[in-house]
């Protein structure tokens, strides 16, 4: 009986194996970095959307009572405003008093928090936004334009990551004294 010698060698050499593992490693690193970049982009876009949503919500809450107002008064924080303004008016940066046709009175403004240059938007002394955002006091204002019968609201909203969004809105009101 003759034995047959194995003349064909099947398999990979060490060099071929190292090259294929290197290619697999490079492709894996590329795919993982693309996935992480996508996740980071998603987080950034999601936080920007949340900031816009919160800013629009606050602005909408401030604007709605102004549309219904027929009498408006503004008191800067350094005055001692008469009632119906809060007695702790020194804690407010801007206060606006509104009265509508039904006689309902509304006070709105920005109240200082304990943090530097940080305010919260309030209506009748009640905060109207979440704890994830604050308003920059130094860059925000509520101003009554008596000659144009409008109120200008400028607000810079800031989230916990220090991202900011500036909103500005001029809202007309009806002057009942005409």
Place of tokens 């206060």: 95
Phi-psi region of 29 (alpha: psi -120 to 50; beta: other; left: phi over 0): alpha
- Which whole-number Å values give the CA distances from 99 to 42, 102, 108, 136, in the listed order? 44, 8, 11, 27
What's the Cα-to-Cα distance from 9 to each of 2, 14, 21, rounded to whole Å? 20, 14, 21
Stretch 144-163: mean pLDDT, rounded? 88
For the chain, the structural domain boundaries read 34-172
Question: Tens digit of pLDDT for each residue in 72-116?
Answer: 888 754 455 544 555 565 677 778 888 888 889 888 888 888 888
pLDDT at 117 > cutoff 60: yes
pTM assigned to the model: 0.75
What tens digit of pLDDT does each residue of 4-57 get?
655 666 788 889 999 999 999 999 999 999 999 999 999 999 999 999 999 999
């Amino acid at each position: 009986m003759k034995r047959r010698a194995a003349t064909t060698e099947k398999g990979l050499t060490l060099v071929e194996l190292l090259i294929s593992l290197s290619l697999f490693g490079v492709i894996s690193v590329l795919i993982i970095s693309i996935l992480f970049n996508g996740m980071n982009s998603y987080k950034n876009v999601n936080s920007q959307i949340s900031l816009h949503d919160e800013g629009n919500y606050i602005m909408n809450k401030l604007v709605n009572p102004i549309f219904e107002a027929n009498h408006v008064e503004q008191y800067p924080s350094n005055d001692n405003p008469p009632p119906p303004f809060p007695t702790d008016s020194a804690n407010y940066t801007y206060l606006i008093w509104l009265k509508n046709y039904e006689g309902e009175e509304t006070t709105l403004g920005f109240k200082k928090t304990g943090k530097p240059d940080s305010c919260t938007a309030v209506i009748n002394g009640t905060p109207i936004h979440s704890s994830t955002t604050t308003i920059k006091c130094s860059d925000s204002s509520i101003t009554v334009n008596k000659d144009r019968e409008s109120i200008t609201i400028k607000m810079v909203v800031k989230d916990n990551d220090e991202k900011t969004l500036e909103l500005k809105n001029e809202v007309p009101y009806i002057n009942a004294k005409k």
